[in-house]
Amino acid sequence: MLWGCKGFMGEKTDLSFIETPVQGNQESETYLPILPALQGNGMIEPTDICSGYDQLIYVTDPKVGKVFCFDQAGRQLSDFSIPGAKAVIQDLRLNLLVIGTVDTTVGQTTYKLPAIFRLNLDNGGYGLRNARIIKRMIHPFYFKSALSATDANVKLNDIAVFADNSYLVTRSGNINIPTQFGGPDNTVLRFSKDDEWQGIVSVSTNQGTFSNYFQTPYSITTIAQPPIPPSTLVSNSKTFFVSMLEPNTTIKVQAINEIQSESGTEYVLNTSFESGDTSKADGFLYAANRFTQPMGLTYQYASAEYLFIVDAVKDSVYQFTKTGLEGVQPLPGASRKKPIITSFGCRGSGPKQFNRPVGVATVGRTLYICDAGNGRILRYRLTRDME
């Protein structure tokens, strides 16, 4: 059986290697599907996926309002109900942080407000089936006591955790006055390990410092990514990657560095990623208009470091090196020196096709993608890792 689709430059891509992959080829690499796809019992539209420090895999589905748990063999272990569950991450205490919704009545009106749920999985036995909610951070009550009419239009989109268990949350909305209390709706929120709101991320560039820097921020990831046992090996870097969905934003996935100085904490746009030098690579993270709707990011920290991005409009997954070059580094001894392009995808329901991919994670050498429109989780291995 063969699957094909239009390539990134419009040419026809031959995917016949799926039947007879040539492994160990030093000049070419590709991702091969691991079948069957995961379609959890009761899962309709998976939107986010994370690999946990506990070696388990967690998936959110807002359509059914649940978090699902799988083992690495693809077996569904349990689920937990959280209304509107759309994003999930695990910290080093093995707590889950989940973005969902809470119905809140103010006066005579009931609002469906976004919220961050903290789940303790060790409650009379470890596991999602034993989880209990130990805290909820409801928007906007993590930073103020009163609800305004516009707060109901704000969305919390994604969470990323650092090695010290502090975390970041992307927020989007319609009111983006730089000086407004609590920051503009479009921002990245900072929380302590104890779930205390620390403020927003203001970004410094060579043109100044901006509290309204982020334009419809959506997915976010740090370099402190599981699974990396033991936890002492988790990166202490405070660099994070964030995607932005505003159509007029030229560079839709950017890296932000946290810098500590005598004057305090500063967040600076990482401009070190190379772009445009085709003697070094055939594609670049910071290439203008590279993405349309990048709704999922993850960073693979163990061994070789790579950033993965899924684009819900282009129905594709992209892979970049830690320096922003597209592809994977050639194997030792290969004559090719530039990274080998491994990005793939197009619209469809085949093993290497997607319908609105919105979440991505890596577990060891396996790549996982939430194919929301097809209601499934797809798994892949790079050719060099199939042996």
Digit-coded pLDDT (tens) for 60-77: 999 999 999 999 999 999
Residue 379: exposure state from Cβ atoms within 10 A (0-12, 13-18, ≥19): buried
Angle at 152 between CA 149 and CA 371, to 5 degrees: 160
Rounded Cα gap, residues 52 and 340, in angstroms: 29
Rounded Cα gap, residues 289 and 85, in angstroms: 30
Measured CA distances, 158 to 92, 222, 272, 280 (Å): 18, 12, 25, 33
With beta carbons less than 8 A apart as the criterion, state whether 251 and 270 touch. Answer: no
pLDDT of the residue at 123 = 87
Which two tokens mark 305? 């470091």
* DSSP state at residue 11: P
Rounded Cα gap, residues 387 and 382, in angstroms: 10
Beta-carbon contacts of 248 under 8 Å, excluding residues fewer than 6 positions away, are: 215
Architecture of domain 37-381 in CATH? 6 Propeller (2.120)
pLDDT at 185 over 60: yes
pLDDT of the residue at 387 = 60
For residue 241, how many other CB atoms are within 10 A of its CB? 23
| Range picked from 112-126, 264-278, 328-342 for highest mean pLDDT | 112-126
Question: Where along the chain do its domains lie?
Answer: 37-381
pLDDT of the residue at 228 = 58
Q: Is the dihedral of CA 343, 303, 331, 335 positive or negative?
A: positive
| Predicted TM-score of the model (pTM) | 0.91
Q: How is the beta sheet containing 208-210 ordered, strand by strand?
A: 208-210, 203-205, 264-269, 253-261, 240-244, 217-222
Measured CA distances, 370 to 290, 316, 382 (Å): 21, 11, 18
Q: What is the mean pLDDT of residues 223-229?
A: 70
Which two tokens mark 312? 């819900």
Range in 103-107, 187-191, 259-263 the model is least confident about: 259-263
Range in 49-63, 180-194, 242-256, 294-308 the model is least confident about: 294-308
CB environment 46-72: b (16+ within 10 A), e (fewer) = bbbbbbbbbebbbbbbbbbbbbbbbee
Q: Are strands 264-269 and 203-205 parallel, antiparallel or unpaired?
A: parallel
Which two tokens mark 346? 């197009």
Reduced to 3 states (helix: H, G, I; strand: E, B; else coil), residue 103 is strand
